Amino acid sequence: MSAENDMSWEDLSLKRCGEAGEAGLWIVSLPWPGQEPADLRLQGRPGSCSPLGRWPGRADFPRRLFLAADADNQAPESLSLSEVSASSAKGIAEPEAFMEAFDGKEQPALHCEHHRLVLRHGDRSVGLTMGLKTGGKVHWWEACRLVVLDQSPDCLTVEMGGAIEVEHMSEEVLKAHQGVTNPFLHRHNWLNGRIYARLHSNGVCEVFAHHINSKFFDGGRPLQDVVPVIGFTVDAPVEELDEAAGSWDGSVSEISLGGVRFDLAECARLATAKQPGAMSHEDNTLVWQPYLGVELYGGDGSEELTGDPFIFHGEEKCFPQGMARTLRFSLSLSDRSPRVLRYLAPVSWYEHCGDYVFGAEPLEDGDQSWELARQWTKAHVLEGGYEDGLLPRHLRTSRTLDGRTRHEPGWEGEIPYAQFLAAWRTGDSEDYAVALRSAYYFTDVIVDHSEKLVRMHATAPPAVALPMNRMQGTIAAYLETGDPYLLEAAEAVTSNSHWLHKNSWPRLAVGRDACFLRSAVMLYRYLGDEFYRRIAREGVGNVVTSQRANGSFGDQGGGSGIHQWGGYITKPWMGTLALNSVLDYLELFPEEAELKESVKKFADWLMSERQVRNGVRTWCFQHDYNGERRFFHMTLGTYVDLPSVNNSWHHETLARLLAYVAREWNDSSYWEAWSESHKAADSCSNDHSVAAALQFLRPALG
């Protein structure tokens, strides 16, 4: 926490994050200091207050309070907080949710029934059914279970999951293939469908619907001729269903069926005029296909391997192994608008509650580096289509495809977290919306949900790489939404990364492959789970063990041949990435002398390696190979001398590391070394540099 201990929630003014207009629900994920929670309400309106996360060592102290309130179709610019001692939902109908079976197959030897989630408020209801389309037919959810996660008069929170079969197994197949000869035995043949829903006492419902191609009885596989759908079952005249049916390009973001209004604005971004989804109906169920199909752009690497910069095209209707996509929408079963409007606390409250802990020194007046990085994320995020929310890796190569500019894709989980830090600092609604879309894109598309690891960027499945497993953006998105899918993905990837690391430990080098440890530290910070602290401490200990005698680090290690080659490469950048997790840990446990000395040792190596380039003392990208100053450059096909005296390198991970050493050892020369290099640098040339600038620079605003 900051030194501003006299701050109080009573003095907060929450800022609207979105356009003015009719809204049915206000929500805020309010950071909470390390103290007992209060039962708060927004603007004194009926609503709910639920804890999220917890402070380490204090199970009763939450990290966030998730507040929701009846907006009465209003959208004020700001909201205040008040405390109540009892439920405020008196006189408002309590919402209901139940699972309903339908369309059962009359097969005595192979019972099967489909299920839908029914949401009810007063005399209005809607059924939600996860499904897929294959062979021109719709297959629905089956073998489901509904779980009530939390229930009060103000809010009912439920989760429901089940399988959606691709190729039907008949009773005849069951009888004809006894024992292990059954062709469907240990053969992945379904999508998982999962809905997380919050039903509020004013009739507004938030829905997070996930289609996930994971695994259960084998290693998983891609599913051909498969496009996800979701069914809305309503008591509506056929004329309303007919009117909604047809091609769906996302231009219509709100629909009304049988007195139920749906806000589909976020999902509408997944469809385009050139790659539309569709709406049709079966009896009283609207069948909504939200996008044409899965698309995945690989850029240069994919084109080098296959001649096609795309790994998957939407028109192919392949749902790849490990792929997922989330549909975030809301609906209203009352006279309230289905629109959910978010509010944000001022940045000083985030600082007070420990959400900014990476303290570099403030930038000098007039330094626009942080702002340039912030604008880079908004200028270059992919807008619309299946990959809505993707940020580029860099801008050096680009293609114009179907009238759209596509840059080399960056599958980087740290950048959504940096975007959230920027949004919390500015309160800007566009910053926030792009951060949330980026986080869901990364979690859905770039996490391989069959392996529970992050895909290697621009590479077709099943390639993975330990340095890619950075889940901070996913964790931040969980803190903002409460969607358990996000938290579970972050926990699974972080845990698996620990064991992936252990598969090749001890090894020659640890560099950027230590980045997954930042997620472990963050999970401990926000969940207080000792399991992740142990993972983090063991991992940062391995980082220290792998540090070379001169203080430097290898690029990354593990394996042989091309995969061990990087262990002999020395780059300043890789050392800062290796030590970022150590610095994260030191923020929580500042007295760990072994870790502090490792940071200082590397900083001293950095200081000894500075050279004058273009009149500025700085560093270059690579400094040696196997301790020698000559290196065979594979791209150029020749030997080069190191370090280069012509090309400089700068990255804002230096701001954090050198500021830390300057403060801890009371030696300003380290910070001055960063400052000299920073003034001659471009802080936003790629996703890594942008993420570092947004995390580790402190702008004047806020």
Tens digit of each residue's pLDDT (9 = 90 or more) over 42-70: 999 999 999 999 999 998 999 999 999 99
Q: What is the pLDDT of residue 701?
A: 55
Q: What is the pLDDT of residue 548?
A: 98
Q: What is d(CA 262, CA 450) in angstroms, rounded to the nearest whole number?
A: 32
Percent of the residues in the chain that have a pLDDT greater than 70, as a whole number = 96
323-333 burial string, b = 16+ CB within 10 Å, else e?
Answer: bbbbbbbbbbb
Nearest Cα residue to 290 out of 504, 132, 173, 422:
132
Backbone angles phi, psi at 552, to 5 degrees: -85, 175
Highest mean pLDDT among 165-179, 204-218, 633-647: 204-218
Q: What is the pLDDT of residue 5?
A: 62
Q: What is the pLDDT of residue 359?
A: 61
The pLDDT tens digits of the residues spanning 466-479 come to 999 999 999 999 99
Q: What is d(CA 213, CA 222) in angstroms, rounded to the nearest whole number?
A: 8
Q: What is d(CA 58, CA 299) in angstroms, rounded to the nearest whole number?
A: 47
DSSP code for 514: G
Over residues 438-464, the mean pLDDT reads 94
Q: What is d(CA 168, CA 340) in angstroms, rounded to the nearest whole number?
A: 39
Q: Is 361 exposed, middle or buried (0-12, 13-18, 19+ CB in 10 A)?
A: middle
Q: How confident is the model at residue 357 (pLDDT cuts 50, 70, 90)?
A: confident
Over residues 404-433, the mean pLDDT reads 95
Q: How confident is the model at residue 187 (pLDDT cuts 50, 70, 90)?
A: very high
The CA radius of gyration of the chain, in Å to the nearest whole number, is 26
Q: What is the pLDDT of residue 681?
A: 84
Amino acid letter at 571? K
CB 401 within 8 A of CB 457: no
HSE (side-chain half, CA atoms, 13 Å) at 637:
0
Q: What is the pLDDT of residue 364?
A: 78
Query: Where is pLDDT greater, at 334 or 6?
Result: 334
The pLDDT tens digits of the residues spanning 493-551 come to 999 999 999 999 999 999 999 999 999 999 999 999 999 999 999 999 999 999 999 99
The whole-chain average pLDDT of the chain stands at 94
Over residues 16-30, the mean pLDDT reads 96
The pLDDT tens digits of the residues spanning 85-143 come to 554 445 367 899 999 999 876 678 888 899 999 999 999 999 999 999 999 999 999 99
DSSP code for 199: E
Q: What is d(CA 77, CA 480) in angstroms, rounded to the nearest whole number?
A: 20
Answer whether residue 352 shows pLDDT above 80.
Answer: yes
Outline where 89-225 has alpha helix (H): 171-176
Q: What is the largest CA-CA distance in the chain?
A: 83
Answer whether residue 278 shows pLDDT above 70.
Answer: yes
The pLDDT tens digits of the residues spanning 605-614 come to 999 999 999 8
Q: What is the pLDDT of residue 699?
A: 85
Q: What is d(CA 406, CA 398) in angstroms, rounded to the nearest whole number?
A: 5
Q: What is the pLDDT of residue 702?
A: 46
| pTM score, whole prediction | 0.97
The pLDDT tens digits of the residues spanning 378-398 come to 999 999 999 999 999 999 989
SS3 of residue 401 by DSSP: strand
Candidate from 152-166, 170-184, 527-541 with smallest mean pLDDT: 170-184
Q: What is d(CA 49, CA 28) in angstroms, rounded to the nearest whole number?
A: 10
Q: What is d(CA 359, CA 370) in angstroms, rounded to the nearest whole number?
A: 14
Q: How confident is the model at residue 460 (pLDDT cuts 50, 70, 90)?
A: confident
Q: How many CB atoms lie within 10 A of CB 107?
A: 12
Which residues lie closer than 8 Å to 577 by C-beta, 6 or more apart?
467, 511, 512, 514, 515, 653
Q: What is d(CA 312, CA 48) in angstroms, rounded to the nearest whole number?
A: 43
Q: What is the pLDDT of residue 416?
A: 98
Which residues lie closer than 8 Å to 669 by C-beta, 6 or more apart?
607, 662
Candidate from 199-213, 286-300, 677-691 with smallest mean pLDDT: 677-691
Residue owning tokens 């995020």: 381
Task: Output the DSSP codes for 309-347.
Answer: SEEE-GGG--B-TT-EEEEEEEEESSSS-S-EEEEE--H
CB 267 within 8 A of CB 384: no
Helix (H) or strand (E) holding 492: helix 484-503
